[in-house]
Amino acid sequence: VKLAEQVKNGDRRALARAITLVESTRADDRDEADQLLEALLPSTGKATRVGISGTPGVGKSTFIEALGTMLCSRGERVAVLAVDPSSQKSGGSLLGDKTRMEKLANEPKAYVRPQPSSGALGGVAPSTREALLVCEAAGFSTVIVETVGVGQSEAAVADMVDTFVLLVSPAGGDELQGAKRGILELVDVIVVNKADGDLLVEAKKTRDDYDVSSKLFLRDAAWQVPVVLASAKEGSGVDDVWKKIQLHGRDEGRRVAQAERALWRTLESEVVRSLRANPDVQKAVDEVRAGKNPLRVARELAARFELQR
């Protein structure tokens, strides 16, 4: 495929076109996208894949800009995929993000690309994983995926990266309770951002709170989740975070498991999609709506599909 060659040669326009292609939900683009990905796949796998999440306004974009420019100044090439769930509604937020990463976006060694989000909750689109692979094939040494901490997006991003970083605010100790607890199970590095000026004292306290709980939630004997103070605005701590990301490194076993889960996710959604279009299934839906036992109807249908094979 010609496009694949252009992407591998570092052609910017080709890269943008390739990502647009894998993002396309049109059925007739899918074949081409699959061919492209297969042509690129042998050239993937070499980048450090980093996910960055956190509540709106915690400083993700500012942090990525600081980290990205630092890496570029060291000769690395950095790609950023920014998933912006609010862009669907407001339309303005995308622009805002671009503006906030202006320095990085203008950096010749960097590439900043907003990602479409799927669904009303702002979930991460399945194509983000493929966009990440395209960036890798294009030769970026680090690929960063930014996602806002809403809906299922953290889990989706954690499942496509080597290191998942959570940014928390200086007053973030209360996030430790309740709903946010679930994310902590996915996190590899915690960053208390905005540790500057008047917020420094509070940030230190928050770091200590997270430190205690990261020891309590120890899920992997080989990796104690570090808690790092940083100020994306002033640039302090950014290098410390990068060192932790490097220390965490990549785990081939994790990547293999991620690829397998991507297979299952796609299989499940494709199978369900084709089942929904099946006339027997549609008839069964009507029967259940009319009062038949859904579990029995489902089992009978499944047995019938089994026989057809």
Ligand X SMILES: Nc1nc2c(ncn2[C@@H]2O[C@H](COP(=O)(O)OP(=O)(O)OP(=O)(O)O)[C@@H](O)[C@H]2O)c(=O)[nH]1
By CB under 6 A, tell whether 56 contacts ligand X: yes
59 or 123: CB nearest ligand X: 59
Q: Which of 60, 109, 113, 248 binds ligand X (CB under 6 A)?
A: 60
- Tell me if 169 contacts Mg ion by CB under 5 A: no
Answer for which of 33, 40, 59, 183 binds ligand X (CB under 6 A) is 59
Q: Compute CA 143 distance to the chain's CA centroid, rounded to the nearest angstrom.
A: 10
69 near Mg ion, rule: CB under 5 A: no
How far are the Cα atoms of 161, 195, 231, 234, 252 from residue 70, in angstroms, in the given order? Answer: 20, 19, 14, 12, 27
**Considering just the CA atoms, what is the radius of gyration of the chain in Å?**
22
Phi, psi (rounded to 5 degrees) for 292: -70, 155
> Binding residue for ligand X (CB under 6 A) from 18, 148, 157, 245?
148
60 makes contact with Mg ion (CB under 5 A): yes
**Residue selected from 204, 233, 254, 255 as contacting ligand X according to rule CB under 6 A:** 233
Could you write out the DSSP letters of every residue in 157-169?
HHTT-SEEEEEE-
Report the alpha-carbon distance of residue 291 to residue 229 in Å, rounded.
58
Site size toward ligand X, by CB under 6 A = 17
Partner from ligand X, Mg ion, none binding residue 231, C-beta < 5-8 Å depending on class: ligand X
What distances in angstroms separate CA 234 from CA 42, 67, 147, 202, 229, one per listed residue? 39, 11, 22, 17, 12
- Smallest distance, ligand X to C-beta of residue 214, A: 21
Note the residues at the interface with Mg ion (CB under 5 A): 60-61, 97
Note the residues at the interface with ligand X (CB under 6 A): 54, 56-62, 97, 100, 148, 193-194, 196, 231-233
